[in-house]
């Protein structure tokens, strides 16, 4: 496992709830109080066990009352998230920032989606939402792209960014793309370039996003479409906000010149080969106390479950 060169903080919400109490608990039943305390102790123990042997860990703090776990270390946030989810509890990333108190908190996230509808016939069907489709209708029901309603979009990857030191940004990318063979990419064509683009215009990437502003690296997803990239990049995160993070198959063409209209056939050839999301500012550690979404009125746990349903990860 690759580790960061300097420690940083990651904050997670973990649903450490009394799961084995009856409704009488709310009537001050002593037996239920005891069961709740025992259940909470198991929650804390499970979280501790999940983190204990991870490389790069320096310390962790568990706030049972606020259902908050704050971790300081060099471990990739994606690995911390996987470890916490292994407890069987719902986990939500709340924020990340440099461990040094002298460095302003700067973090961002890019949620990678497809600009074109992707037929389920070429997407992976291990996702429960897709796997439940009858075989006869699988090819007829598309995975919505950016032109569809917000709540029907599917997430194919997430890239998190944290400014961990001056001129040093930590990036942590995880993708679950359609299997390369399903989109016409042979064994020698499975490399995907990852970059921050010149603009955040996602109407028609890579044409609308423009030329690469900053190369971030390259990934080679496995035969099932899984890939990841964890590295430090020289730069200032504030310069990337509002641009796009683009994951583009190396075999696809570069952005067209201004004024060149792409043919329908060329556009369709990019299906399953390019994914993009705006680099949006996110909360630093201890920078997000919200528990209810102001725009929808739903709790963060409800919002989190909706996001998991949309995700291919």
Instruction: Please state the rounded mean pLDDT for residues 41-51.
Output: 90
Same domain, residue pair 195 and 247: yes
* Rg, C-alpha atoms of the chain: 21
Q: How would residue 243 be classed by pLDDT, with cut points 50, 70 and 90?
A: very high
C-alpha pair distances (Å), 278 with each of 197, 203, 209: 9, 11, 10
- CATH number of the domain encompassing residue 74: 3.30.70.100
Please check whether residue 293 lies inside any domain of the structure. Answer: no
Q: Domain boundary residue among 48, 64, 99?
A: 99
Same domain, residue pair 68 and 135: no
For residue 233, pLDDT beyond 90 = yes
For residue 65, pLDDT beyond 90 = no
Same domain, residue pair 82 and 112: no
Q: CA-CA distance, 170 to 223, in Å (whole number)? A: 27
Share of residues in the chain with pLDDT > 70 (%): 65
Share of residues in the chain with pLDDT > 90 (%): 40
What is the structure's pLDDT at 124?
52
What is the structure's pLDDT at 272?
79
Closest CA relative to residue 179, chosen from 218, 114, 226, 145: 226
Q: CA-CA distance, 21 to 38, in Å (whole number)? A: 10
What is the structure's pLDDT at 127?
45
Please check whether residue 310 lies inside any domain of the structure. Answer: no
Same domain, residue pair 67 and 50: yes
Same domain, residue pair 215 and 182: yes
Please check whether residue 3 lies inside any domain of the structure. Answer: no
Please check whether residue 259 lies inside any domain of the structure. Answer: yes
Tens digit of pLDDT for each residue in 125-147? 444 443 344 444 444 444 334 33
Same domain, residue pair 27 and 174: no
What is the structure's pLDDT at 30?
61
Same domain, residue pair 92 and 119: no
Q: Say if CB 169 and CB 163 are below 8 A apart.
A: yes
Same domain, residue pair 94 and 113: no
- CATH number of the domain encompassing residue 265: 2.60.40.200
Please indicate whether residue 202 or residue 130 has the higher confidence score (pLDDT): 202
The DSSP letter of residue 299 is B
Same domain, residue pair 85 and 113: no
User: Residue 27: how many CB atoms within 10 A of its CB?
Assistant: 8
For residue 15, pLDDT beyond 50 = yes
What is the structure's pLDDT at 137?
42
Please check whether residue 290 lies inside any domain of the structure. Answer: no
In terms of residue numbers, what domain contains 78? 8-99
Please check whether residue 193 lies inside any domain of the structure. Answer: yes
Please check whether residue 182 lies inside any domain of the structure. Answer: yes
Instruction: Please state the rounded mean pLDDT for residues 87-116.
Output: 88
Same domain, residue pair 94 and 112: no
Tens digit of pLDDT for each residue in 152-163? 457 899 999 999
Same domain, residue pair 57 and 88: yes
Mean pLDDT, rounded, of the chain: 76
For residue 247, pLDDT beyond 90 = yes
For residue 227, pLDDT beyond 60 = yes
Q: Say if CB 56 and CB 74 are below 8 A apart.
A: yes
Please check whether residue 32 lies inside any domain of the structure. Answer: yes
Q: Domain boundary residue among 99, 119, 152?
A: 99
Q: How would residue 56 be classed by pLDDT, with cut points 50, 70 and 90?
A: very high
Same domain, residue pair 244 and 274: yes
Give the total number of structural domains in the chain: 2
For residue 66, pLDDT beyond 70 = yes
The mean-pLDDT minimum among 37-51, 97-111, 182-196, 293-307 falls in 293-307
């Amino acid at each position: 496992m690759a580790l960061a060169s300097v420690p940083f903080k990651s904050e997670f919400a973990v649903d450490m709830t009394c799961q084995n109490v009856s409704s009488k608990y709310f009537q001050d039943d002593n037996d239920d109080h005891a069961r709740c305390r025992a259940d909470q102790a198991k929650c804390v123990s499970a979280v501790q066990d999940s983190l204990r042997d991870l490389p790069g860990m320096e310390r962790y703090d568990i706030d049972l009352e606020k259902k908050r776990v704050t971790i300081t270390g060099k471990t990739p946030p994606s690995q911390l998230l996987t470890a916490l989810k292994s407890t069987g509890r719902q986990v939500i990333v709340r924020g990340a920032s440099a461990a040094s108190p002298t460095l302003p908190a700067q973090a961002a996230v890019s949620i990678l989606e497809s600009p074109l509808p992707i037929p389920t016939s070429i997407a992976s069907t291990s996702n429960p939402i897709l796997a439940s489709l009858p075989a006869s209708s699988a090819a007829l029901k598309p995975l919505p792209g950016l032109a569809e309603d917000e709540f029907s979009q599917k997430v194919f990857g997430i890239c998190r960014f944290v400014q961990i030191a001056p001129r040093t940004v930590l990036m942590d990318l995880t993708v679950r793309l359609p299997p390369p063979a399903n989109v016409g990419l042979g064994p020698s064509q499975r490399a995907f370039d990852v970059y921050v683009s010149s603009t955040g215009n996602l109407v028609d990437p890579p044409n609308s996003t423009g030329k690469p502003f900053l190369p971030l690296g390259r990934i080679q997803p496995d035969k099932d479409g899984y890939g990841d990239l964890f590295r430090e990049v020289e730069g200032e995160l504030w310069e990337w906000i509002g641009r796009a993070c683009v994951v583009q198959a190396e075999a696809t063409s570069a952005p067209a010149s201004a004024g060149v209209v792409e043919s329908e056939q060329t556009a369709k050839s990019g299906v399953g080969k390019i994914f993009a999301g705006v680099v949006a500012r996110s909360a630093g550690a201890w920078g997000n106390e919200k528990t209810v979404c102001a725009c929808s009125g739903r709790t963060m746990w409800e919002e989190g479950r909706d996001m998991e349903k949309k995700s291919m990860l």
